[in-house]
Amino acid sequence: MFFLKLLFRNAFRHKLRTTLTVVGVAIAILAFGLLRTLVGLWYLGVERSSATRLVTRNAISLVFTLPISYKDRILQIRGVKSISYGNWFGGIYADEKHFFANYAVEPRSYLELYPEFVLPPDQKAAFLRDRKGCIVGAKLAELHKWKLGDIITLKGTIFPGQWEFVLRAIYKGADKSTEERALMFHWDYLNETMKKTVPRRADQVGFYMIGVTNKDLAPEVAVEIDRTFKNSLAETMTETERAFQLGFISMTEAILIAIQIVSYVVIVIIMVVAANTMAMTARERISEYATFKTIGFGKWHIGGIVFGESLVIAMTGGIIGALLTFPAARWFEVELSQYFPVFSVSPFTIYLDLLAAMGIGVVAAVFPTWRSATIRIVEGLRRIG
Amino acid sequence: MEVPRQPIVEIKNLNKTYRRGSQVISVLNDITFDIEEGEFLALMGPSGSGKTTLLNLIAGIDKPDSGSVRVGEVEITSLSETELARWRASHVGFIFQFYNLIPVLTAFENVELPLLLTGLSRRERREHVETALYAVNLSDRMDHYPSQLSGGQQQRVAIARAVVADPTILVADEPTGDLDRVSAREILDLMERLVHELGKTIIMVTHDPRAAEKAHMVRNLDKGVLNNVLS
């Protein structure tokens, strides 16, 4: 108890210096926490992907399409339970700054395959009835203040023209990680328009989503689908939804690695700053440590005093930084909602924050602790006055 | 007939040198003398004569090159660092020129420090500290921090800290060196009382002839040699 009191009083003896160090550690831990959260979010799509869903696309690239006729052949493969299909539409609402994901999908099968999109039954029925109808996520509707019956116009990029949709349903995610900033409309609407305007692009789908009867069968089914279409004009590549998502992530791997490196660099920088603070502190107090030793305290006591003080400062900053991560993440979630559907801090990130803070405290204290614990009393007492 | 008192400190053929680059400087040269229990000894001499080094060797915070220092029954030159720390905790009380109080601790807590190394309970520690602070007439300043006390009061807290664990000897290095004349006199009176009333043994390094006057015995050091004794 006595030593705990001593640690805290020592830690806040130089209020300005300690405050600046604590603020520095807090900012570093906050930045570390946010960057780690960002890295985690990159993998959010992977985490929420279903083990019983496969994605089939053109083997050359996602840019190339597959014939709609593949649907019935895929359905005949053993282990396939259901199938849906769609196209990435890539339409722009108002201007490019208002980006959100939009797809043309076969609505009935798609909503069956993706139960995480929750729609009120009456709205769902209205959507299924109206070929020009669309559904949007609740967050997207809220962002643009859309209500049922509104006409939403998208400017086509992949499929040129002005496309009008009637908002028939607003879905909610089954859990927080479900994307609520997307728009989906009838694939038939797209296909019929293509038949009239660019017939060679009609009856083509960008991807098939396949439900399998058992997740253990997924690898077998994937191989079988690709084998079925081998040596055809449009060979397929089938992978689990997880692998499909990871494929997207691998395209941005360099960014991810850079973020991770920056998160560690932030910690290393603050370690050096904290080590400097502790070294200055220990140097100023050498005569006090010598006095402690003169009275009979051993080097373990002195080591504990220096080490403890460093930990008090680092952990104070660490806890403040970790606590600030929550409002900061909330701010990101609101302000950058078009990029991050959810920006929630995981408990693991908080553990990492506190571990990093402890690491800062430990590393910062090593040299001053050794120096203070091993200084000769006579040498230490000579520094008085 | 007066019964001869036992020496509490026995110093024999003590030598100490310092190295400065390739140069070896002799600080103490074959020092031999005894200090009796209950004695108030003043060590005097010019700067660099080796007074503080001798005090440090007696107090076990420095090691000699050769010779022996026996305090009570313990030959302290043969103790390891850890053993010396333990020995100092129970046998030596220190009074420094600049008081060496811990600024973030109150007077009470500063005095309590040496007792943390004993097995005393919290209540027992409190009793000891209160007694020590009462003895130095600072009962009303227990909760004050060193910065809230005058130089003389700080030195009295340091004396209370030195005596609180009831050590075998008290060593004082220029205890009045940083004080005005009035405070210095108070401190010397207090030290005198410790000797006369509590039977403490004090070894004091000083430059101040007025401080030396209070001592039973004055030993002069010059260039590491003990050259005369004034009783």
Residue B27 lies in a domain: no
Residue A300 lies in a domain: yes
Q: Do B117 and A10 touch (CB under 8 A)?
A: no
Closest CB to B94: pick one of A2, A295, A378: A295
Tell whether B112 lies on the interface with A, counting CB pairs under 8 A: yes
Q: Which of A138, A130, A123 is nearest to A169 (CA)?
A: A123
Residue A241 lies in a domain: no
Residue B202 lies in a domain: yes
Alpha helices in chain A (DSSP H): 2-11, 15-42, 44-47, 70-75, 107-113, 121-129, 138-144, 187-197, 218-228, 241-251, 253-284, 286-295, 299-335, 347-374, 377-381
Q: Which two tokens stand for residue A292?
A: 């402690």
Residue B23 lies in a domain: no
- Claim to verify: residue A167 and residue A306 sit in the same structural domain: no
Which residues sit opposite B74 in a β-bridge?
A: B71
Compute φ and ψ for B96, nearest 5 degrees: -105, 160
Range of the domain at A183: 60-234
The C-alpha atoms of residue A160 and residue B195 are separated, in whole angstroms, by: 105
Residue B207 lies in a domain: yes
- Residue pair A99/A89 in contact (Cβ under 8 Å)? The answer is no
Residue A245 lies in a domain: no
Residue B4 lies in a domain: no
- Claim to verify: residue A142 and residue A70 sit in the same structural domain: yes
Which among A207, A234, A261 is the end of a domain? A234
- Claim to verify: residue A161 and residue A268 sit in the same structural domain: no
The C-alpha atoms of residue A117 and residue A102 are separated, in whole angstroms, by: 14
Q: Which two tokens stand for residue A160?
A: 């040129």
Q: What is the pLDDT of residues A111-123, one digit of tens each?
A: 999 999 999 999 9
Closest CB to B100: pick one of A5, A378, A384: A384
- Claim to verify: residue A273 and residue A205 sit in the same structural domain: no
- Claim to verify: residue A213 and residue A336 sit in the same structural domain: no
The residues of A whose Cβ lies within 8 A of any Cβ of B are 2, 5-6, 9-10, 13, 287-288, 291-298, 376-378, 381, 384-385
Residue B165 lies in a domain: yes
Q: Do A6 and B104 touch (CB under 8 A)?
A: yes
Residue B143 lies in a domain: yes
Burial of A333 (0-12, 13-18, 19+ CB in 10 A): middle
Range of the domain at B95: 37-63+78-230
Which among A204, A234, A264 is the end of a domain? A234
**In this structure, which amino acid lies at residue A179?**
E
pLDDT classification of B228: cutoffs 50, 70, 90: low
Q: Do B109 and A385 touch (CB under 8 A)?
A: no
Closest CB to B98: pick one of A2, A298, A385: A385
Residue A242 lies in a domain: no
The domain that holds B194 is classified in CATH as 3.40.50.300
Contacts of A353 (CB under 8 A, 6+ apart): A29, A32, A33, A36, A318, A321, A322, A325
- Claim to verify: residue A69 and residue A158 sit in the same structural domain: yes
Residue A275 lies in a domain: yes
The C-alpha atoms of residue A290 and residue A273 are separated, in whole angstroms, by: 26
Measured over the CA atoms of residue A239, residue A241, residue A242 and residue A248, the dihedral's sign is: positive
- Claim to verify: residue A184 and residue A135 sit in the same structural domain: yes
End-to-end CA distance of chain B: 20
Residue B111 lies in a domain: yes
CA A266 to chain centre: 19
The C-alpha atoms of residue A55 and residue A242 are separated, in whole angstroms, by: 9
Reported ipTM: 0.91
Q: Which residues of B touch A381 (CB under 8 A)?
A: 61, 96, 100
The C-alpha atoms of residue B15 and residue B63 are separated, in whole angstroms, by: 10
Q: Which of A54, A66, A114 is nearest to A236 (CA)?
A: A66
Closest CB to A378: pick one of B56, B96, B116: B56
Q: Count of domains in chain A?
A: 2
Q: What is the layout of strands, in order, in the sheet containing B92-95?
A: B92-95, B169-173, B201-205, B40-44, B217-222, B225-230
A336: which DSSP letter? T
Q: What is the pTM of this model?
A: 0.73
- Claim to verify: residue A342 and residue A228 sit in the same structural domain: no
Identify the three-state secondary structure at position B153: helix
pLDDT in tens, chain A (385 residues): 788 889 899 888 888 989 999 999 999 999 999 998 888 887 777 777 777 899 999 999 888 999 999 999 999 999 999 999 999 999 999 888 788 899 999 999 999 999 999 999 999 999 999 999 999 999 899 889 999 999 999 999 999 999 999 999 999 988 877 888 899 999 999 999 999 999 999 999 999 999 999 888 899 999 999 999 999 989 999 999 888 888 777 777 888 889 889 989 988 888 888 888 888 888 888 889 999 999 999 888 999 999 999 999 999 999 999 999 999 988 888 777 666 767 888 899 999 999 999 999 999 899 888 888 888 888 888 754 3
B197: closest CA of chain A, how far (Å): 24
